[in-house]
């Protein structure tokens, strides 16, 4: 059991996690998923050498860290795996002051989780977030 950095060696396992959770925009083209993983960083949570959770992020290593994906297999939820993944990331990047993520406003479970572990909604900080929808 534990957390470690993962790469494309785990492509099939990562692909399966996205599929299981219905994140189909990631699974339309496996080569695209592979390129995405090469250009970002991912840590995984393993139980008996089986990948059961991932956290994918982007960072400049100095000022900004963006959490893109946090997935834990449904049957392994409520075991503090997501919390451990987040805490591991925050410990390893404790020098970074600007840590961001986006989640669906309608996902009460996700919003409750992020608030519980210390994230603040931007509106509570008198900040607005903007999203560009390109082609």
> pLDDT tier at 135 (50, 70, 90 boundaries)?
low
Tell me the pLDDT tens digit for each residue of 76-119. 888 899 999 999 999 999 999 899 988 887 788 888 989 999 99
Tell me the pLDDT tens digit for each residue of 108-123. 888 898 999 999 888 8
Task: Report yes or no: 18 and 30 within 8 Å, Cβ to Cβ.
Answer: no
Q: What is the CATH number of domain 2-125?
A: 3.40.630.30
What is the spatial distance between Cα 44 and Cα 76, in angstroms, rounded to a whole number?
13
The rounded Cα 108 to chain-centroid distance in angstroms is 17
pTM of the model: 0.88
Which has more pLDDT, 52 or 23? 52
Domain boundaries of the chain, sorted by first residue: 2-125
What is the spatial distance between Cα 57 and Cα 39, in angstroms, rounded to a whole number?
10
Rounded to whole angstroms, what are the CA distances from 14 to 29, 50, 60, 105?
13, 11, 23, 25
């Amino acid at each position: 059991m534990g957390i470690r950095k993962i790469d494309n060696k785990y492509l099939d396992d990562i692909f399966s996690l996205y599929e299981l959770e219905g994140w189909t925009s990631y699974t339309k083209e496996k080569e695209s998923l592979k390129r995405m993983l090469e250009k970002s960083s991912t840590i995984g949570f393993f139980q008996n050498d089986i990948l059961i959770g991932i956290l994918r992020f982007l960072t400049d290593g100095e000022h900004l860290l963006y959490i893109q994906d946090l997935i834990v297999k449904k049957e392994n939820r409520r075991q503090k795996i997501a919390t451990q993944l987040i805490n591991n990331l925050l410990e390893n990047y404790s020098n970074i002051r600007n840590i961001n993520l986006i989640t669906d406003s309608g996902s009460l479970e996700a919003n409750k989780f992020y608030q519980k572990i210390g994230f603040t909604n931007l509106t509570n900080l008198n900040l607005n977030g903007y999203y560009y929808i390109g082609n």
